[in-house]
Amino acid sequence: MFNKFPIKFHYDGRYYQGEVKPLQTGLQNRMPTTFQVFFNNMYYGLVKRRGTDWETDSPKCAIMVNIIGNHIYDWYE
């Protein structure tokens, strides 16, 4: 459940490929709530699930937070 997993998508003409690492900070409906996001081996920030919404602490992830969140959600489905 807390193993990192791959993520990749196109956004705004760019290709993003990396990994998501779940943190052991809590569970909501048997799914972790906080994730570290890495693209091209660089740390992009934290993405957090709050109910059905996604939020981030990073300006790098802010415009893509819902896309990243949807990929995370799909991984656990």
Q: pLDDT tens across 38-76, in order? A: 998 899 999 999 888 999 999 988 999 999 999 999 999
CB proximity list for 56: less than 8 A, separation 6 or greater: 45, 46, 47, 48, 62, 65, 68
pLDDT band, residue 13 (cuts 50/70/90): very high
Full domain range(s) for residue 63: 5-76
Of the candidates 58, 13, 16, which has an alpha carbon nearest to the alpha carbon of residue 35?
Answer: 58
pTM listed for this prediction: 0.91
Determine the Cα–Cα distance for residues 66 and 70; give it in Å rounded to an integer.
6
Res. 1: pLDDT tops 80: no
Tally of structural domains, the chain: 1
